[in-house]
Amino acid sequence: MIKKIVLAVVVLGLSAGGFFYWWNNQADVRGLNKTLPDGVRVVKSLYGNEYKVINKIDGYEFKVPREWRGINEVAYIPERGEEGYTLSSIELEGREESSRIVVMNRFEGNDEILRIWVEKNFKTFGLVGNFNEDKVGELDIVKIQENVHLGGMYVYFFKKDSSIYSITNGSEEFIKYIIINGKW
């Protein structure tokens, strides 16, 4: 009988300790998610400190580069109309690295050819850059380095179904990581 009581106390203690560890490990994510609407959240792995942004509102998710060592800030800008199209955005800032700010836009309902759409919209907003077509994973992309207004930031565009996505960041490596490790 005493063995059963001791075993029950040990199991209960381990369970409570595991819950306490998990609760403390997830504190930063709880803080980030307080500012996000239902359907958008940041999740963190229990081990390894891998972060992922899940956007059920717009139907995508992506992993955050490990080099950032987490996320300082995240903001969701809901669907809005601009210059004849509808878009929603996620902006986030990682904790470390020089290229730790990323802006993810999703443009709805576009049936145009990707390169034509990108060139037209770059002109609309007065942005300049050389347009290069490439492939990242299975996705065809149009990439630009905008040196005049965006300080050399890279902007990658890709199309999935009837949505066009753009990712802006200072590192091509980080953008490729986000694209390859995303579910679009």
Query: Could you tell me the CATH number of the domain that includes residue 84?
Result: 3.40.1000
Integer Cα distance of 115 and 121 in angstroms: 10
β strands within the chain, DSSP E: 40-44, 51-55, 60-63, 71-82, 85-94, 101-107, 132-136, 139-146, 153-160, 163-169, 182-183
46 and 19 in a common domain:
no
22 and 41 in a common domain:
no
Q: Is the pLDDT of residue 144 over 70?
A: yes
pLDDT for res 9: 47
CA atoms within 13 A on the CB side of 173: 8
Residue 8, domain extent: 1-26
Average of per-residue pLDDT across 5-29: 51
Average of per-residue pLDDT across 166-170: 95
Q: Is the pLDDT of residue 25 over 60?
A: no
pLDDT for res 169: 95
165 and 79 in a common domain:
yes
142 and 81 in a common domain:
yes
Task: Indicate the burial class of 154 (C-beta count within 10 angstroms; 0-12, 13-18, 19 or more).
Answer: buried
Identify the top-confidence range among 3-17, 36-50, 162-176: 162-176
DSSP string computed for 111-162? -S-HHHHHHHHHHHTT-----EEEEETTEEEEEEEE-SSSTTEEEEEEEETT
pLDDT for res 97: 81
84 and 118 in a common domain:
yes
Q: Is the pLDDT of residue 14 over 60?
A: no
The tally of domains found in the chain comes to 2
- What share of the chain in percent tops pLDDT 70? 84
Burial per residue of 16-50, b for 16 or more beta-carbon CB atoms within 10 angstroms, e otherwise: eeeeeeeeeeeebbeebbeebeeebbbebeeeeee
152 and 119 in a common domain:
yes
Q: Lowest mean pLDDT: which of 9-18, 20-29, 47-56, 151-160? A: 9-18
Q: Is the pLDDT of residue 102 over 60?
A: yes
107 and 52 in a common domain:
yes
146 and 163 in a common domain:
yes
Torsion of CA 29, 32, 37, 41, to 10 degrees: -30
19 and 42 in a common domain:
no
67 and 6 in a common domain:
no
